[in-house]
Amino acid sequence: MTKIAFIGFGEAAQSMAKDLAKQSQIEEIVVYDVRFSDKQASADLLAKAESMNVVPIMDLSALSDVDFVLSLVVGSATQAVAKSVSAYLSDTAIFIDLNSVGPATKTLAAVEIRKGKGTFVEGAVMARVPPYGAKVPIFVAGSAAEETAEKLNALGMNLEAVGTEPGQASALKMIRSVMVKGVEALLIEALSAAEKAGVTEKILDSVGETFPGVNWRETSDYYLSRTFEHGARRVTEMNEAANTIEELGFSPHMSRAACKVIGKAHEELKKENLSSNDGYKKFVPSLSRLLVKGG
């Protein structure tokens, strides 16, 4: 029987834990979150854990008999979490860092885990966790990546080993982000200008002819909803991507520009009476009005 721990109990961890708790091969799932120490902030989290049959822990020493520890915290806490957890892991425990940070930060986390007895594996979550839950695609790298993927996939997860060195999985994700969020930034700029010129629908028709098979209206709906709802987080991730490009010896001109475009669009859209379910037909007029030069 397997015992799994989550460090951090946000949206991603909750979605994964809820699925994994249904697996008969898993003896127990425990979760630690710094918010548990705040009585007011922890009430909802503790209730969610109970509803999922997940056991909250208040002390990291409870990790001593855990087989897998999945770290899902804010990027800035990546190294600190690894340092805090390291002393409590057994020599058979595998610590899997799933935080959205670049290869350099993953390497620092690996150093902390190696100071103790546990084994470090780094992972990159390649899609929004809900609605996939535990089946969300995850790339993993490290000396135990193959073993980790095999064991956790047998428990209902969806891991793919992509390398033996910490940082390879996150490098893949960060470089991919340059393209994915680059498209998001291009849509924001192009559609804002198209709306101002009164040619939005014609632009979407024309791009659809150039890239057959892509429904650019649905794509615009998706990306602009992400900008509206998660723009601040996406800028943080894009900054990590830009840092990764720099660490590889290149100048991240496009990445830095995308950060500015997405960040400004998110900031302005949040001032509007909009919701994440609104499509491009509502988002684009607002962007066209709000993102004019000097605005």
pLDDT tens digits, one per residue of 55-91: 999 999 999 999 999 999 998 999 999 999 999 999 9
- Picking from 49, 37, 91, the residue whose alpha carbon sits closest to that of residue 66 is 91
Q: Is residue 295 part of a domain?
A: no
Residue with tokens 């393209």: 179
Residues 256-268: pLDDT tens digits? 999 999 999 999 9
Q: How many domains does the chain have?
A: 2
Contacts of 78 (CB under 8 A, 6+ apart): 71, 97, 99, 101, 105, 106, 108, 109
Instruction: Label residue 247 by pLDDT band (50, 70, 90).
Output: very high
Spatial separation of the C-alpha atoms in residues 279 and 248, rounded to whole Å: 37
156 and 187 within one domain = no
pLDDT at res. 51: 93
Q: Is residue 93 part of a domain?
A: yes
**Domain around 200:** 172-290
69 and 206 within one domain = no
pLDDT at res. 295: 53
Whole-model pTM?
0.87
Contacts of 199 (CB under 8 A, 6+ apart): none
The type of residue at 273 is: N
Could you list the beta-strand ranges (E) of the chain: 2-7, 26-32, 55-56, 68-71, 94-97, 119-125, 138-141, 159-163
Residues 136-161: pLDDT tens digits? 999 999 999 999 999 999 999 999 99
Q: How far is Cα of residue 199 from the mean position of the Cα atoms in its chain?
A: 35
pLDDT tops 70 at residue 294? no
pLDDT at res. 209: 97
Last residue of a domain, one of 116, 138, 166: 166
127 and 10 within one domain = yes
pLDDT tops 80 at residue 221? yes
pLDDT at res. 39: 76
Contacts of 40 (CB under 8 A, 6+ apart): none
Cβ pair 280, 191 in contact under 8 A: yes
Kindly report the CATH number assigned to the domain that includes residue 217: 1.10.1040.10
Mean pLDDT, the chain, rounded, equals 95
Strand, helix or coil at 165? coil
